Amino acid sequence: MSFNTIYLMLMSVRMAPRLPLIFLLMIHGVSSAGWGVSYRHSHICALKNSSVIMSCTYTYPTGYKIKKVFWTTNPVKGKESPDLSEDPEYRQRLQYLGDKQQNCTIRLSHVTQKDEHKYYFRFTTDKADVKWIGDPGVTLTVTDLQVEAPERVTEGHNVSLTCKSSCTLTDRATFIWYRNSQPLTERRDRNNQLLLQSVRREDAGRYSCALHGHSYISPAAHLSVTYPPVNPVISISPSGEIKEGESEISYS
């Protein structure tokens, strides 16, 4: 806090109880506006093929006029940073949602693993040589989904399936589950887990998971339900030997 601010604050305490304090905060907000970029998230974990919003605001001292606003990746010192919206890899997928005053938010759609970079907002002003790049940038990680499940479960047992992502998704979304491509309504245990209680033969099948409102679906994992025989089973092996016991019937 500057000397001026403290002085004003003392005055405001002495003069009148409430109004001057608000006035003071307004003065302070304007006079202290320096160069700066702030990002809502410095790391974003997004699902493959989804749209990512990188929220961002920026400030600059009064007296400057903003000439150009753009985003860039992996800047190199001493080199002019390329504008991503002119890059053929990004042009169709990048949308600047911000403005030329304070909002520098962008949306990048259909993200793939190739988009895993650090992204920076950059702006230039009407005064030559005054440019600003906003550290620390936004680090983007793109994940797919994988179903983790045992290969087989015995009839009557409980089993829990997990929908795994390689990073913790920034947007908390609801997981949805499919068996043989049909959506399921079974109870979800934790957000990304499907709990099958007292498994029946009909539970066998190919399980995949997805996020509500997203098009990406995980590869399927196959779950078999084994059925322990009530009576000993006699089976004949290809060699003609007669064996007793322990065989299992499997539904898949």
Helices 19-31 and 3-15 cross at an angle (nearest 10°) of: 170
According to CB under 6 A, which one of 215, 235, 247, 252 is a site residue for ligand NAG? 215
Residue among 8, 93, 98, 209 that touches ligand NAG (CB under 6 A): 98
- Rounded to whole angstroms, the Cα distance separating 107 from 205 reads 38
Q: Binding to ligand NAG (CB under 6 A): which residues in 170-189?
A: none
> How many Cβ atoms sit within 10 Å of the Cβ of residue 154?
12
Rg over CA atoms, the chain:
29
CA gap 211, 176 in Å, rounded = 6
What residues from 6 to 65 belong to the interface with ligand NAG (CB under 6 A)? Answer: 49, 57
157 counts as binding ligand NAG under rule CB under 6 A: yes
Stretch that binds ligand NAG, among 17-25, 98-106, 144-152, 165-173 (CB under 6 A): 98-106
From candidates 32, 38, 112, 158, binder to ligand NAG by CB under 6 A: 158
Residue whose CB is less far from ligand NAG, 98 or 205: 98
Rounded Cα–Cα distance for residues 114 and 131 (Å): 28
Taking alpha carbons only, the member of 149, 152, 161 closest to residue 224 is 152
Q: Tell whether residue 85 is a contact of ligand NAG (CB under 6 A).
A: no
First to last CA, the chain: 70
Applying CB under 6 A, the span of 20-28, 86-94, 103-111, 115-123 interacting with ligand NAG comes to 103-111
Q: Which is nearer to ligand NAG, 158 or 180 (CB)?
A: 158
CB atoms closer than 10 angstroms to residue 52: 23
Residues in contact with ligand NAG, counted by CB under 6 A, come to a total of 12
Q: Which residues bind ligand NAG (CB under 6 A)?
A: 49, 57, 97-98, 103, 105, 110, 157-158, 197, 215-216
